[in-house]
Amino acid sequence: MAPVVLVPTMGALHQGHLDLVREARRLAGDSGQVAVSIFVNPLQFGPGEDLDRYPRTLESDVAGCREAGADLVFAPSNSQIYHPDRSIQIIEQALSKVLCGTSRPGHFDGVCTVVAKLFNLVQPDAAVFGKKDFQQLAIIRRMVRDLDIPVSLHGMETVREADGLAMSSRNRYLTPEERAQAPALRAALEKALAAWHMGITAATRLRDLVAEHLATHAPLGRVDYLGLVDASSLEAKAVLPANQHHLIAIAVFFGGARLIDNIELVPK
C-alpha cells in the first residue's frame, strides 16, 4: 500500500517547513501521498503568548506546499478540531517538565493532544518533524511509543539562514538590531560543542561558555533557559561524558520574540 506522510505545521511556512514537505515527498515516493496540516493550535499557547498575533498566511502557505510536492493541505478551523464541550486531552508527565516546559506549563500537553488528533484524522503511515524543537520531537516519540500509535516518525535537521539563525516563523518579529544579534545563539552552541570535543565535559563550564558568548554578542537577548541534558531522557546532566549522546538547548527572548535552538553532542 502506498504510504501517507504527514507534515504537521502551524502555518506561516518558511523554507525550513518546505524542506520537511520535500522530505515527506521523498518518503512517500511517486505512489504515496503527502499531507500538510496547517492549524494554529490554541491549546499550546499560554496566557500572554502570541496566539492572536501569530502570523496566518494560508494562501502563500498552500502555494508553497504545492511547489514542495504536497498532495493536500488540511487547514481546519478551531471548531473542526475541538468540540466546545471537550473534556479529554493528553497529559505528558516527564519529558515536558524541563527546558521549554518549565516556562510554558501545559504547552506540550496541547502539542500532544493536537498531534494525536491529527494522526487520527489523517491516518498517516509516517510524519516528519524538524529537530529545531528537539524536545517536541522527543515528546511525540514518547507519545507514539506509549500509546502504540502506528506512525513512523522522522526528524530533520534544522534549516538555517546563511548566518546560522534557525529559520522560524517568529523571526519576523525581530527588529533589525535584534536580527543582527540573533545568530549568536547558534555560534554560542557551536562554541560549546567545540569545547566538548576538546574534552571539556563539565556542564557548568560549557554553560558558562554559552552564556559568555551571548552576553557579549547578543546583549539584547534575555535567556529563558539553557539546558544541558541527556538527548534521550532530557534529564539534566552535571557531566557530559564524551561517549554519550547529549543535547544543549536554549531559548532566548528578543523583545517579544522567543527563539529556540539546540545542538546535539554526538560521540565521534
189-210 pLDDT, tens digit each: 999 999 999 999 999 999 999 9
d(CA 6, CA 10): 13
Query: Residue 56: pLDDT above 90?
Result: yes
d(CA 2, CA 10): 26
Q: Looking at residue 117, what is its pLDDT?
A: 98
Give the mean pLDDT of 101-121: 97
Query: Residue 136: pLDDT above 90?
Result: yes
Q: What is the mean pLDDT of the chain?
A: 97
- Residue 17 annotated in active site: yes
Q: Looking at residue 268, what is its pLDDT?
A: 85
Q: Looking at residue 236, what is its pLDDT?
A: 97
Q: What pTM was computed for the model?
A: 0.95
Give the mean pLDDT of 174-183: 98
Query: Residue 69: pLDDT above 90?
Result: yes
Residue 252 phi, psi dihedral angles, 5° rounding: -135, 135
The full set of domains in the chain, from first to last, is 4-156 (3.40.50.620), 174-265 (3.30.1300.10)
Catalytic entry in 17, 107, 213, 246: 17
Cell of 34: 503527502
